[in-house]
């Protein structure tokens, strides 16, 4: 019954979920020196992979969240920490997120695991790693869990396990949560880049008959999904997308040691995103629900040196549960 009791206990200001969510991107200084490799996809597009190599036999594939990139603070900090523990890392920049627009009208969405599969196969076929671990954050965490679950019967034996952090595993209920007033600021922050990207696509691809007035009026993820995700990726409706993209139905299929960490004060998540039952009924899917941490925050102090709980927790799961030797 792998449900962990969390030991995350931050100082007082960091017990506020919103404060914890915003502190990392605004105040942390994490950067990582990457080496970029651009790979060509089967559909004549490109994906940018950012490597940080220390000479390991194990590679950790990091997948960022919505509108993130390899420059996201949580990606850089975890890449640096894993490097110090002797593991190579590579950040998978989702299409259109590497600082350069991708070539196609379609980019990425919460359930687009065919891109994850392509990247995983590319890495294992072109590099001589003995082990691969997948770690995803938020949207990238949903991709991680969904991929490991749906590939369970045919998963590459070099994939040793996965870790997912702050994941809306049930997209339908999580979007209802995001619609609430408490998340209005976050929606506005996401929409600054998302609306511009959709608008840019409409100029590059005139056949994409975008209703620009509806785009400018959009205030919910559902509105953007109706305008872009549904027609571009062939879903019947936003509700059809939510159902097909959510990772929650795949958790029971997971066969590799996999950890999900979702903070109970994460304002992005609904109660359906805390899969205690799935973890209780599994031998390899682990769940940890700290009382605090916000959304991909898990900051505990104003001292940068003390803000390593998430990195250390990921390290511990790799060491103890995935059973990879670290420095």
CB atoms within 10 A of CB 179: 15
pLDDT of 322 reads 98
Residue 8 scores a pLDDT above 60: yes
Rounded to 10°, the helix 17-27/73-84 angle is 70
Question: What's the mean pLDDT in 42-48?
Answer: 98
Instruction: Tell me the domain boundaries of the chain.
Output: 3-170+247-322, 171-245
Residue 117, pLDDT > 70, answer yes
Residues 124-182: tens digit of each pLDDT: 999 999 999 999 999 999 999 999 999 999 999 999 999 999 999 999 999 999 999 99
DSSP-assigned beta bridge partners for residue 73: none
For 171-193, the pLDDT digits (tens) are 999 999 999 999 999 999 999 99
Q: What is the pLDDT of residue 140?
A: 98
Beta strand segments in the chain, E: 3-4, 35-40, 46-52, 58-63, 88-93, 131-137, 159-165, 258-261, 285-288
Q: What is the mean pLDDT of residues 103-109?
A: 98
Residue with tokens 């999904």: 225
Cα-based angle 222, 145, 263 (whole degrees, multiple of 5): 75
**Does residue 81 carry a pLDDT above 60?**
yes
Helix-strand-coil percent breakdown of the chain, rounded to 5?
A: 45, 15, 40
Average pLDDT, whole number, for the chain? 97
| In CATH, 3-170+247-322 is 3.40.50.1820 | yes
Say what the pLDDT of residue 1 is: 57
The most distant pair of C-alpha atoms in the chain lies apart, rounded to whole Å, by 55
Whole-angstrom distance, CA of residue 157 vs CA of residue 38? 25
Beta strands at 258-261 and 159-165: parallel, antiparallel or unpaired: parallel
Task: Label the pairing between strands 159-165 and 3-4.
Answer: unpaired
The kind and range of the H/E element at 316 are: helix 309-317
Percent residues over pLDDT 90 in the chain: 99
What average pLDDT does the segment 194-203 reach?
97
Cα separation values, 171 from 70, 129, 205, 279, Å: 24, 34, 29, 19
Mean predicted confidence (pLDDT) in 226-255:
98
Q: Does 223 score more than 80 pLDDT?
A: yes
Residue 301 has pLDDT above 90, yes or no: yes
Asked whether the predicted pLDDT for residue 242 surpasses 60, the reply is: yes
């Amino acid at each position: 019954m792998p449900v962990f009791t969390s030991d995350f206990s931050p100082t007082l200001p960091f017990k506020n979920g919103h404060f914890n969510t915003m502190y990392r991107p605004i105040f942390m200084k994490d950067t990582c020196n990457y080496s970029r490799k651009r790979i060509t996809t089967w559909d004549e597009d490109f994906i940018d992979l950012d490597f940080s190599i220390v000479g390991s036999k194990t590679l950790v594939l990091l997948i960022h969240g919505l509108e993130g990139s390899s420059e996201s603070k949580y990606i850089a900090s975890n890449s640096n920490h894993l490097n110090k523990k002797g593991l190579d890392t590579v950040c998978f920049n989702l299409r259109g997120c590497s600082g350069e627009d991708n070539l196609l009208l379609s980019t990425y969405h919460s359930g687009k695991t065919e891109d994850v599969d392509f990247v995983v196969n590319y890495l294992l076929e072109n590099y001589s790693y003995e082990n691969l671990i997948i770690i995803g954050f938020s949207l990238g965490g949903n991709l991680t869990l969904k991929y490991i679950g749906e590939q369970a019967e045919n998963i590459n034996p070099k994939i040793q396990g996965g870790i997912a952090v702050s994941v809306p595993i049930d997209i339908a209920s999580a979007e209802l949560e995001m619609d609430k007033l408490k998340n209005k600021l976050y929606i506005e922050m996401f929409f600054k880049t998302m609306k511009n990207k959709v608008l840019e696509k409409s100029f590059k691809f005139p056949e994409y008959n975008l209703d620009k007035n509806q785009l400018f009026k959009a205030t919910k993820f559902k509105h953007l999904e109706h305008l872009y995700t549904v027609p571009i990726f062939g879903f019947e409706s936003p509700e059809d997308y939510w159902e097909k993209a959510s990772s929650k139905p795949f958790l029971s299929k997971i066969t590799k040691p996999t950890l999900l960490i979702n903070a109970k004060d994460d304002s992005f998540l609904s109660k359906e995103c805390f899969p205690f039952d799935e973890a209780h009924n599994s031998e390899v899917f682990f769940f940890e629900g700290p009382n605090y941490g916000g959304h991909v925050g898990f900051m505990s102090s104003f001292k940068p040196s003390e803000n390593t709980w998430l990195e250390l927790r990921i390290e511990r799961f790799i060491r103890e549960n995935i059973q990879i030797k670290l420095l």
